[in-house]
A and B are shown apart, each in its own frame.
Chain A
C-alpha cells in the first residue's frame, strides 16, 4: 500500500471529525475519504454531501465489510470505541480512534491486546491537544535539570462559570455514553504524563452538583458523572500531585499547572505562557517558547505516515491511552470506596 493511495472510512462524523479530521485528511496526499457511516443514513448523507464523500453506508458493519477501505477513523462517543476498534482490526483495517479511548480500563486493555495481535495494522488514539504548544518546552526544561528533582505537581482545570441547574444533557454527562470519563480529566492526565510521568497511587473525591439534566426527549434525567473532582496522586518519580477539575467553580482562576522541583519551579498559566524560576531568583520570569519548538495538530498526517511506514505513532499510542483510562477508572473507584487505588490496575 505504501505506493498506493489510502482509502479511509469514517464511522461517526461528529464535530471533531468534521472540524479536524476531515480537513486534516484532505491535506494528506494520496488519501481519499471514501465512505462514511454516521448514526443514520440521513446524517451520513449530509456529511457526504458537505465533504464530497462518495460512499455512504447504512451502518458501520457494512462500511467495515467494504474490502476497498484500508483505514477507519472512529468519531463516535466513547461507548462505541471498543466495539469499533476491535471490529476494524478484525476486518484488517488501520484505525484512528477519537479520545477518550474507551469507557473503562478493561475496554482499553482489550483494545491494546487486540492491537498487539495485528502488528501489521496501525492503531492510534486522537491525542490530548491541550498542551501541544508547551509540551516540548516543559519536557526540555525538566530533562535539562532546570528544576532538579520533581517534588510536587498541581494541575487545575476549572471552569469559571457558576453552577447551572437544569441544563441540557450532553454526552459527556451521560454515564452510558462516557463510562468512567469525567470532564476533561483524561486528556489533562495524558498531558501531565508527557512532562512528569505516570501516577502510582490515586485518591479522589468527587461530587455531583448539577444532578439532573434534560435529555433529547425533554425528560429530566439523573446524572451520575461528577462535575467537581479533586484528585491527589503519588507519581512514579516520587513527586506528589494534586489535580482539580470542575464545572461549578464560578470565577475560578481557570486552567493552570505548577511543577515544583528541588531547585526550580515551572508554571503554566491559562493562556499557556510558561514561567520559570530557580533557587536564588527573585520571581518567576516568562520562558520564551519559540514557534519551532511548539508541536502542532498533525494527527491525520501522523496516522497516514504510520500506515506508510515512515513514522511511528507517538500521539497517541494505545499503551498511553490505557494509562489514562486506568487513571480515570482509579479516580472513580477511589471516590466510590474511599480507598487509595494503586496503579497500574
Chain B
C-alpha cells in the first residue's frame, strides 16, 4: 500500500469480474485496478483497454511477482482457486477469490490453513448473494424465538446456471459444455448447491449428516472444439440432511424440471414457519399458529443487506471490519457439504460432517 492507495491486480476476468468486481472496486476510494492477467495476453489486453487498466501481464505468475500490487482478485474457474490463493498469500498479497471456493474440501482446507499462516493478509470468498436482502431479518426472527424450536427445512431450487436459454426450462441436450458442467474445471461443485448451503448456514448453521442421490440426465455435451464429452456433473440432485441445530432438511436442485420456475425455501418451527421465494429473494413471509395464510414480515431498511463484496474487501484490508461475507472457514464448510453430497451419492451411505 502506497500513500493509502490499495493497488489491485485481476487474475481471470470473466463475467462476474467485469460486471461486479471492477465496478465495485472502482466505487471505493483509494483503490486502483493496476493490472490484469487473463487466459491469454490478447484477452487480457481487451479487458485492459475496455476498463482502462494500465498493465497487462502474459500470465498470472508475472502478475503475482509485481511489487506494486497489494491485493489480488481471483476470477478464474474453481480449478485455479487453490493454486492462485496460495500463490497470492506467498507473494504477500491480500486475496478475494470468486466462489465456489475450490474444487473439493481438501483444497479448501489447504487454503484455510495457508490463510492462517498469513494473519496480516485478508482472505475473502465472494459470498452467496441471492438472499442478502433477507438474511438479517430471517436471522433475527429465528434468534428472537418467533419460530420456536426449529424442526425442518425445505429447499427446492430450479437452477438454470449454465443454460443456453433460461426461458426453456426443460432438459437441454443441445447446449455446449459449460464450465459448471465440466468436472475438470468445477470439481465437486454442482449447480448452485454450494451457495445455497452457504445461505442456509446463515439461518440454521452447518449440517452434521448428508445423504444424497444424484443423476446426470444429459450425459454428453460438445466442448469448445466440437468434440462430444461425457458429462459427470449431475443435473438433478436430491439431498437429505440433518443440521446441528436439530433441523431435518430436504434440498433439491435441478436444471431439468421443466415448467418449474423459481425457487423456494421453507423453515418450519414448532411456533412458526418462514417462507422465501424467488428470485429475487426480497421478501420474508411468516406464518404462526392460528394464521390461515402467510404474512409479509417487514424488512427494516438498515437490515436489508446488499452486494458489498468489494467494499468489504477493501475495508477489511484497511482494518475497519473483519470479513463476514465470506471468510475461508465458512467456505470450507460449504465445500465439505459439497463433497459429502457426491460421496454419499457414490457410496449410498450417509456422510457425516465435518469430514
Report the minimal beta-carbon distance from B98 to chain A, rounded to whole angstroms. Answer: 30
> Is the beta-carbon distance between A250 and B248 smaller than 8 angstroms?
no
A59 sits at the interface (CB 8 A):
no
Which residues does chain B contribute within 8 Å of A246, judged by CB atoms? 152, 268
Which residues does chain A contribute within 8 Å of B170, judged by CB atoms? 262-264, 279
Contact with B along A63-76 (1 / 0, CB 8 A): 00000000000000
B209 sits at the interface (CB 8 A):
yes
Cβ 8 A contact of B259, one of A162, A209, A265: A265
Cβ 8 A contact of A260, one of B239, B249, B258: B258
> Is the beta-carbon distance between A339 and B287 smaller than 8 angstroms?
no
Cβ 8 A contact of B238, one of A206, A232, A250: A232
From B105-113, B210-218, B220-228, the one touching the partner chain is B210-218
Tell me, in angstroms, the Cα distance from A290 to B250 when the chains sit together.
35
Cβ 8 A contact of B213, one of A205, A240, A264, A280: A240
Tell me, in angstroms, the Cα distance from A165 to B170 when the chains sit together.
43
Tell me, in angstroms, the Cα distance from A154 to B294 when the chains sit together.
23
Cβ 8 A contact of B209, one of A228, A261, A338: A338
Q: Which residues 105-127 in A have Cβ within 8 Å of B in the complex? A: none
> Is the beta-carbon distance between A205 and B211 smaller than 8 angstroms?
yes
Which residues does chain A contribute within 8 Å of B249, judged by CB atoms? 230
> Is the beta-carbon distance between A279 and B250 smaller than 8 angstroms?
no
Which residues does chain A contribute within 8 Å of B294, judged by CB atoms? 251
Which residues does chain A contribute within 8 Å of B288, judged by CB atoms? 250
* Closest Cβ neighbor of A233 among chain B residues: B213
> Is the beta-carbon distance between A232 and B209 smaller than 8 angstroms?
no
Cβ 8 A contact of A250, one of B236, B239, B268: B268
> Is the beta-carbon distance between B240 and A204 smaller than 8 angstroms?
yes
> Is the beta-carbon distance between A232 and B211 smaller than 8 angstroms?
yes
> Is the beta-carbon distance between B259 and A283 smaller than 8 angstroms?
yes
A234 sits at the interface (CB 8 A):
yes
> Is the beta-carbon distance between B213 and A201 smaller than 8 angstroms?
yes
B256 sits at the interface (CB 8 A):
yes
Tell me, in angstroms, the Cα distance from A248 to B289 when the chains sit together.
11
B31 sits at the interface (CB 8 A):
no
> Is the beta-carbon distance between B273 and A230 smaller than 8 angstroms?
no
Report the minimal beta-carbon distance from B288 to chain A, rounded to whole angstroms. Answer: 8
Report the minimal beta-carbon distance from B231 to chain A, rounded to whole angstroms. Answer: 15
Which residues does chain A contribute within 8 Å of B240, judged by CB atoms? 203-205, 230, 232
A143 sits at the interface (CB 8 A):
no
Which residues does chain A contribute within 8 Å of B214, judged by CB atoms? 240
Q: Which residues 161-201 in A have Cβ within 8 Å of B in the complex? A: 161-163, 165, 201
A321 sits at the interface (CB 8 A):
no
> Is the beta-carbon distance between A228 and B349 smaller than 8 angstroms?
no
> Is the beta-carbon distance between B152 and A249 smaller than 8 angstroms?
yes
Report the minimal beta-carbon distance from B213 to chain A, rounded to whole angstroms. Answer: 5
* Closest Cβ neighbor of A340 among chain B residues: B348
A203, A233, A252 — which one has the most chain B CB atoms within 10 A of its CB? Answer: A203
* Closest Cβ neighbor of A231 among chain B residues: B240
Contact with B along A36-72 (1 / 0, CB 8 A): 0000000000000000000000000000000000000
Whether A251 contacts B273 in the complex (CB less than 8 A), given A242-B252, A340-B349, comes out as yes
Q: How many interface residues does B have (CB within 8 Å)?
A: 46
A24 sits at the interface (CB 8 A):
no
A292 sits at the interface (CB 8 A):
no
> Is the beta-carbon distance between B242 and A162 smaller than 8 angstroms?
no
> Is the beta-carbon distance between B350 and A228 smaller than 8 angstroms?
no
A152 sits at the interface (CB 8 A):
yes
Which residues does chain B contribute within 8 Å of A249, judged by CB atoms? 151-152, 266, 268, 273
Which residues does chain A contribute within 8 Å of B252, judged by CB atoms? 154, 242
Whether A151 contacts B242 in the complex (CB less than 8 A), given A249-B268, A258-B260, A260-B256, comes out as no
Whether A205 contacts B257 in the complex (CB less than 8 A), given A163-B151, A232-B211, A339-B350, comes out as no
> Is the beta-carbon distance between B151 and A240 smaller than 8 angstroms?
no
Tell me, in angstroms, the Cα distance from A279 to B241 when the chains sit together.
33
Tell me, in angstroms, the Cα distance from A188 to B191 when the chains sit together.
30
A216 sits at the interface (CB 8 A):
no
* Closest Cβ neighbor of B248 among chain A residues: A207
Report the minimal beta-carbon distance from A286 to chain B, rounded to whole angstroms. Answer: 13
Report the minimal beta-carbon distance from B339 to chain A, rounded to whole angstroms. Answer: 17
* Closest Cβ neighbor of A262 among chain B residues: B171
Which residues does chain B contribute within 8 Å of A203, judged by CB atoms? 211-213, 240, 348
Report the minimal beta-carbon distance from B240 to chain A, rounded to whole angstroms. Answer: 4
Tell me, in angstroms, the Cα distance from A248 to B267 when the chains sit together.
11
Cβ 8 A contact of A252, one of B213, B266, B289: B266
Tell me, in angstroms, the Cα distance from A152 to B215 when the chains sit together.
10
A236 sits at the interface (CB 8 A):
no
* Closest Cβ neighbor of B270 among chain A residues: A163
> Is the beta-carbon distance between A207 and B151 smaller than 8 angstroms?
yes
A244 sits at the interface (CB 8 A):
yes
* Closest Cβ neighbor of A283 among chain B residues: B259
A284 sits at the interface (CB 8 A):
yes
Q: Which residues 251-310 in B have Cβ within 8 Å of A in the complex? A: 252, 254, 256-260, 266, 268-273, 275, 287-289, 291, 293-294
Contact with B along A273-291 (1 / 0, CB 8 A): 0000101110110000000
Tell me, in angstroms, the Cα distance from A254 to B287 when the chains sit together.
14
Whether A230 contacts B250 in the complex (CB less than 8 A), given A248-B270, A258-B260, A281-B259, comes out as yes
B168 sits at the interface (CB 8 A):
yes
B311 sits at the interface (CB 8 A):
no
Tell me, in angstroms, the Cα distance from A237 to B349 when the chains sit together.
22
* Closest Cβ neighbor of B235 among chain A residues: A151
> Is the beta-carbon distance between B242 and A205 smaller than 8 angstroms?
yes
What are some 5 contacts across the A-B interface (CB < 8 A)? A206-B248, A234-B215, A242-B252, A338-B211, A339-B350
Give 8 nearest A-B pairs by CB, closest first. A338-B350, A340-B348, A251-B287, A277-B259, A265-B259, A232-B238, A230-B250, A205-B240
**Told that A250-B269, A262-B217 touch, could you supply 10 new A-B pairs with CB distance under 8 A?**
A204-B240, A206-B248, A207-B152, A230-B240, A240-B214, A265-B258, A283-B259, A284-B259, A339-B348, A340-B349
